[in-house]
Chain A
Amino acid sequence: MIEEGEFVFLVGKTGAGKSTLLKLISREIAPESGTVMVDGKAVNKQLAFFIPNLRRKMGIVPQDFALLPKKTVAENIAYASRAAGKTKRQTRRRMAFILFGIHLDHKMNSFPDELSGGEKQRVAIGRALINDPPLLLADEPTGNLDPEHSMEVMQLLMNLNERGTTVIVASHDMMVIEQLGKRVIRIDDGKIISDTKFPEQFANPEPTIELVENPGPELELFTQPEEEDSDV
C-alpha cells in the first residue's frame, strides 16, 4: 500500500521487477495473478478503452527519456500535451509553468542533443507533468546521470512531492536514496523483501509495513488480497 502524497523508492538489482511493478501500475502490462489497485480501482481489470484515462492521472518518466530528437524542449512537451488532448491555448499556458518548474525555461528552444543527461531527464519529467497528475512514476531517472545531475533530478521530484504529488521511483542509485531518506521498498525476484523508512531501518531485512494488510482509505496503489505473499 502506498498512500497519497508519499515518496517511495523501489529498490532492487537489475531484473528484480522494479520496472515491471511500475508497468503494472501504469497498465503497460497486466499481472498474471493478483490485483493492482490505483485510486481504489483495479487497473488490471479495467477495459483497454479506459487505459488512456488512467494514464492521464499519472505521469510516467521512462528510463530512456523518450524525447523526440527533432523537436525542441518546448515542442517535446507541447507535443505530449496536444496528444493528451489539451488545446493549443491550454498547452501554451501550462508550458511556461512546466518549463519554470523544471528549470529549463532558458533552454526551451534547445534540441535534446544539446542537453545534458540531467536536463533531458528534467524534460521527460516536465512532459510527465502535462496532465498535472497526482501520481508520478519514474523508472531509473538517475540511471544515466552523474551524482550532481542525479541530485538535481531528485530535488525536482522532491519538490513535486512536497506539492502533494505521490512519487514512486524505481532506482538502484543507493547514494541518492540514502541522502533523501524516504520510504524504500526492496524487491527481489518479483517479491517485496522489505519495506523500510530510510535510513533508520534500511538495514533491517524484515518488512515494517505490510503492503497487503494495510487497508488505508488513502491512495491504494497495489494490494494482493488473495495471496499470502507479496508477489509482484
Chain B
Amino acid sequence: MFDRITFILGEWLVSIRRNLGMVLLGIITVSVCIFISAGLTLAYLGILKYGQNLTDKFEMRVFLKDQTSVQQISTIAQKIRTMDGVATVNWIPRDKAWAKFKAENPEKTKDLDNILPDAYKVVLKDLSKSDAIAATIQSLPEVEPDGVKYLQNTQKQVEESLRFLKWIGLVAGGLLALVSGVLIYIVVRLTAMSRRLELRIMSLVGATYTTIYTPLLLEGVFQGLLGGLLASLLLRLSYGQLQTAVQGYQALTGMPPFPNNQVFLVCSCAGAAYGLLCSIMALMNLRGKLR
C-alpha cells in the first residue's frame, strides 16, 4: 500500500513539474477567486451582523392621535407587542415627554403648551421586518397619519449594501470561479497530453485507473488547495490592515477578530473540492482518448 502511494505521489510530482508555470498561474487565479469571494462573504456577514446589532439601538417612534384613552393606549401596546419582529413596546406619556423636551430646550418651549402627543418607543428584534411592522402600526386608527417614525434610511442602506455585496459576489466570484476552473481544466489536460506516453505505457501494462488518474486528479486538488490557503493568508493580511485603519475612526466600533480557523478551513476545502471537480471534468472525455 505504502509502495503504491509513493508511486502515485511520485507521478503527481512529475505532473506538477511538467507544467510548473501553468500550475502556478492556476494557483494564483484560484487564490484571487477565493480571496474575492471569501472577502465579499466576510463583508456580507459583517454587514448582516451590524444590521442585527442595530436592533438594540433601533427604535421606532409611534405617535398617537390626541384624545386616545389610556385604555386604548394599553390595548394598542399589547397589539404591537404580539407583532413578529418586535422586541419591546414602551408607552411615553405626553406629559413626561413634554417635561423632558422642555428641560432640554427651555428657550424654544417658553410660553408654549404641551404640543406632543402620546407615543410608544418600539424596539425591533429583526431589522428586516421594520417596514412591515411600520405599515401594520400605521394602519391602526389610533395612530396619527405619518405617525410612525424610524430610521428607514439606515435600514435601507444596510439592505442595499447586502444586496449589492450579494450581486457583486455572485458576478465577480462566479466569473473568477469560471476562469480559475478553466485554467485548472487546461493545466490538467496539458499535463495529461504531455504525459501521454507514460499514460499509454501504464495503460498497456494494466495499471489500474486509480494509478493512472489519481496523480492528475491530485494536481487539480493541489492547485485548488494551495489557492485556498493563499487566499486565506491574503484575507488575514487584508483584514489586519482594515482593523488597523478602523481603529483610527472613533465613530466606528472595533471589528471582531479574524475567524482564522473557519476561514482557513473553508477556503482550503472549497479550493480543493473545486480543483477536484475541474480535474475530473478535464479527465472525463480524456479517458477514451488515452485508452
Chain A residues engaging chain B, CB cutoff 8 angstroms: 26, 28, 49, 51-57, 60, 62, 66, 68, 79-85, 87-88, 127-128, 130-131
Contacts and interface: CB of A to CB of B under 8 A. Distances in A.
B4 A85 contact: yes
B140 interface: no
B203 interface: yes
A66 B206 contact: no
Contact of B205 (A49, A51, A87, A130): A130
B207 A83 contact: yes
A95 to B, nearest CB: 14
Nearest to B210: A52
B291 interface: yes
Contacts of A55: 203-206
Interface string B202-235: 1111111101100000000000000000000000
B77 to A, nearest CB: 72
Contact of A79 (B200, B201, B208): B201
20 contacts: A26-B204, A28-B291, A52-B206, A52-B207, A55-B204, A60-B205, A62-B204, A66-B197, A66-B201, A68-B197, A79-B201, A80-B201, A80-B204, A83-B201, A83-B207, A85-B207, A88-B3, A128-B204, A131-B205, A131-B206
B2 to A, nearest CB: 9
B58 to A, nearest CB: 62
A203 B4 CA distance: 52
Interface string B89-121: 000000000000000000000000000000000
* Residue with the highest number of chain A CB atoms closer than 10 Å, among B203, B205, B291: B205
Contacts, number: 61
Q: Which 3 A-B pairs have the closest CB atoms?
A: A55-B206, A56-B206, A83-B207
Contacts of B198: 68, 79
Chain B, interface SS category: helix
A127 B207 contact: no
B291 A56 contact: no
Given A66-B197, A85-B4, A52 B208 contact: yes
A49 B210 CA distance: 10
A26 to B, nearest CB: 8
B206 A53 contact: yes
B50 interface: no
Given A28-B291, A88-B3, A83 B197 contact: no
Contacts of B203: 55
B7 interface: yes
Contacts of B212: 83
B206 A127 contact: no
A60 B204 contact: yes
A80 B61 CA distance: 81
A81 B208 CA distance: 12
A127 B205 contact: yes
B205 A83 contact: yes
A51 B7 CA distance: 21
Contacts of B204: 26, 55, 60, 62, 66, 80, 128
Interface in B151-168: none
Contacts of B197: 66, 68
B3 A56 contact: no
A44 to B, nearest CB: 13
A213 B3 CA distance: 47
Given A79-B201, A128-B205, 16 more contacts: A52-B209, A53-B206, A55-B203, A55-B206, A56-B205, A66-B204, A68-B198, A79-B198, A80-B204, A80-B205, A82-B7, A83-B211, A84-B202, A84-B205, A85-B211, A128-B204
Contacts of A82: 7
Contacts of B211: 83, 85
Interface in B31-72: none
Nearest to A130: B205
A85 B4 CA distance: 7
Nearest to B211: A83
Contacts of A68: 197-198, 201
Nearest to B209: A52
A53 B205 CA distance: 9
A39 B208 CA distance: 20
Given A28-B291, A66-B201, A68-B197, A87 B206 contact: no
